[in-house]
């Protein structure tokens, strides 16, 4: 018999450590992992090249996700801008929902997984940290890759994206009522991973 679906929803603002945490949790439980931000980034990148947002979302293909340029700050802002458009979000819904319910378990990280994509997820986490801590982490990551943006610019970008992601009317960034909040401001990544694994274990045995 195929293993039952089990969905772990991991939401939170930009640069909160969702990606690292989600990959570690998925590996621990042997689950598949989907970084849903990458879908919005891939649409954002196509829009920067001149495509209309809804068409870009409707014609998205797996090869669009294999693009190193998707990690750039320009693409992140474009992703956040197109993410406010309801028809773009609708075009990406089915893919995310079927990924979430695949046999064997899935971890999805994003902004609206526990609230909109998968309200029935068996485990929900909301991973956050102060804007300053998130900006410093992102600044170090970008600098390590040779970017020259100042810390102040990265902080302004993080705050701008937070405001847009939080204040949009369709699927705004917010913790689901039944999500466990993990604030990683003063936590090592190992401690955050351990905390997340405990939450999931409790839901699996519950």
In b/e form, how buried is each residue of 60-86, taking b as 16+ CB within 10 angstroms? beeebeeeeebebbebbbbbbbbbbbe
- Beta strands 180-183 and 123-128 are parallel
Min CB(6)–ligand DC separation in Å = 19
Min CB(135)–ligand DC separation in Å = 13
Binding-site size for ligand DC (CB under 6 A) equals 14
Residue 190's CB: how many other CB atoms inside 10 A?
Answer: 9
Q: Which is nearer to ligand DC, 47 or 79 (CB)?
A: 79
Q: Which of residues 93-152 bind ligand DC (CB under 6 A)?
A: 110-112
Distance between CA 174 and CA 162 in Å, rounded?
A: 11
Q: Which of residues 64-83 bind ligand DC (CB under 6 A)?
A: 76, 79-80, 83
Distance between CA 136 and CA 159 in Å, rounded?
A: 12
Q: How far is CA 134 from the centre of its chain?
A: 14
By rule CB under 6 A, what string of x and - marks binding of each residue 156-185 to ligand DC?
A: -----x---x--------------------
Q: Could you list the beta-strand ranges (E) of the chain.
A: 7-11, 32-35, 106-110, 123-128, 180-183
Q: Which is nearer to ligand DC, 93 or 202 (CB)?
A: 93
By rule CB under 6 A, what string of x and - marks binding of each residue 21-60 to ligand DC?
A: ---------------xx--xx-------------------
Q: Which residues contact ligand DC by CB under 6 A? A: 14, 36-37, 40-41, 76, 79-80, 83, 110-112, 161, 165
């Amino acid at each position: 018999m195929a293993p039952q679906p089990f969905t772990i929803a991991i939401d939170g603002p930009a640069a909160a450590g969702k990606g690292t945490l989600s990959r570690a949790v998925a590996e621990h439980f042997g689950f598949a992992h989907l970084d849903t931000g990458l879908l919005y980034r891939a649409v954002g990148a196509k829009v920067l090249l001149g495509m209309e947002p809804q068409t870009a979302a409707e014609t998205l293909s797996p090869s669009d996700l294999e693009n190193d340029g998707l990690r750039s700050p320009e693409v992140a802002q474009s992703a956040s801008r197109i993410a406010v458009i309801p028809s773009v979000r609708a075009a990406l819904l089915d893919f995310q929902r079927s990924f979430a319910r695949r046999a064997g378990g899935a971890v999805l990280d994003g902004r609206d997984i526990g609230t909109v994509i998968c309200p029935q997820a068996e485990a929900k986490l909301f991973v956050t940290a102060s804007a300053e801590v998130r900006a410093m982490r992102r600044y170090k990551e970008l600098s390590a890759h040779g970017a020259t943006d100042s810390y102040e610019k990265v902080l302004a970008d993080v705050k701008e994206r937070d405001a847009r992601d939080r204040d949009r009317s369709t699927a705004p960034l917010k913790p689901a009522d039944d999500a466990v909040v993990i604030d990683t401001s003063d936590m090592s990544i190992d401690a955050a991973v351990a905390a997340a694994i405990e939450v999931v274990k409790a839901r699996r045995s519950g």
